[in-house]
């Protein structure tokens, strides 16, 4: 049960390739830029029945599943503090940049249970280049079959 992935479309047919491509102006006049990804387990639930649940490994069903932006080279290129995460577009205006995002205590599999991940990038880098030091980090989780 390792089918949890990020997708670029609401039907969860196009897997996110791992690189969020943004083109920013060096004068920062195009800030901020928003993107949307979807987090789901389609592989283990092709019937879209919500048969697999994901919970935090630390205390399943109680602790939150969290998603954060990790920076492998703080002080170089872009910083995690340039990124705001939210589960809705409206929350991008009030959530704290650089903070982790709670996805709740349980996620269920299937396309109908996909979790929206809204991303706002407030670029602070004025030099032209490609940044590869930022990545997505999800707290350790466990999957189990839903019993009814």
Q: Is the pTM of this model over 0.85?
A: yes
For the chain, give every domain's residue range. Answer: 4-17+25-145
> Is 130 or 4 the better-scoring residue by pLDDT?
4
pLDDT band at 1 (very low <50, low <70, confident <90, very high): very low
Find, among 93, 124, 6, 111, the residue nearest to 49 by Cα. Answer: 111
Q: What is the pLDDT of residues 98-117, one digit of tens each?
A: 999 999 999 999 999 999 99
The correct answer on CATH 3.30.310 for the domain covering 4-17+25-145 is no
The pLDDT tens digits of the residues spanning 26-76 come to 787 778 889 999 999 999 999 999 999 999 999 999 999 999 998 887 777
Please list the residues that pair with 143 across neighbouring strands.
Answer: 54
């Amino acid at each position: 049960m390792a089918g949890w992935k990020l997708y670029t479309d609401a039907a969860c047919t196009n897997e996110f390739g791992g690189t969020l491509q943004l083109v920013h102006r060096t004068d920062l006049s195009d800030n901020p830029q928003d993107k949307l990804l979807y987090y789901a387990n389609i592989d283990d639930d092709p019937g879209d029945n919500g048969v697999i649940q994901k919970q935090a490994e630390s205390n399943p069903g109680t602790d939150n599943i969290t998603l954060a932006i990790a920076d492998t080279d703080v002080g170089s290129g872009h910083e995690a503090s340039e990124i705001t995460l939210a589960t809705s577009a409206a929350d991008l205006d009030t959530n704290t940049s650089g903070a982790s995002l709670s996805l709740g205590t349980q996620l269920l599999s299937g396309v109908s249970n996909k979790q929206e991940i809204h991303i706002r990038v407030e670029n602070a880098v004025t030099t032209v280049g490609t940044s590869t030091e930022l990545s997505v980090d999800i707290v350790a989780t466990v999957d189990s079959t839903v019993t009814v």
